Chain A
Amino acid sequence: AQSVSQHNHHVILSEAASLELGCNYSYGGTVNLFWYVQYPGQHLQLLLKYFSGDPLVKGIKGFEAEFIKSKFSFNLRKPSVQWSDTAEYFCAVKDNDMRFGAGTRLTVKP
Chain B
Amino acid sequence: DGGITQSPKYLFRKEGQNVTLSCEQNLNHDAMYWYRQDPGQGLRLIYYSQIVNDFQKGDIAEGYSVSREKKESFPLTVTSAQKNPTAFYLCASADLAKNIQYFGAGTRLSVL
Residue of B40, B42, B92, B99 ringed by the most chain A CB atoms within 10 A: B42
The answer to whether the Cβ of B100 comes within 8 Å of any Cβ in the partner chain is yes
Chain A contacts with B in 6-37, Cβ cutoff 8 A: 6, 9, 32, 34, 36
A68 proximal to B (CB < 8 A): no
Q: State whether A43 and B42 are in contact (beta carbons under 8 Å apart), knowing that A32-B99, A51-B99, A94-B99 are contacts in the complex.
A: no
For B104, list chain A residues within 8 Å (CB).
43
Complex contacts, A45 vs chain B, CB 8 Å = 103
Q: State whether A44 touches B42 (Cβ < 8 A).
A: no
How big is the B interface, by class? 10 to 19
Q: Mark A79-110, 1 if CB is under 8 A from B, else 0.
A: 00000000000101010011011110000000
Nearest neighbor of A34 in chain B, beta-carbon distance: B100
Q: Contacts of B99 on A, CB cut-off 8 Å?
A: 32, 51, 94
Task: State the main secondary structure of chain A at its contact with B.
Answer: strand
Contact-residue bracket for chain A: 20 to 34
Binding site for A on B (CB under 8 A): 33, 35, 40-45, 58, 90, 92, 99-106
Given A42-B105, A90-B43, A100-B44, 7 other A-B contacts at CB below 8 A?
A32-B99, A34-B100, A44-B90, A44-B92, A92-B43, A94-B99, A102-B42
7 chain-A/chain-B pairs, Cβ below 8 angstroms: A4-B42, A9-B40, A43-B103, A51-B99, A92-B43, A98-B33, A100-B44
Contacts from A to B (Cβ < 8 Å): 4, 6, 9, 32, 34, 36, 42-46, 49, 51, 90, 92, 94, 97-98, 100-103
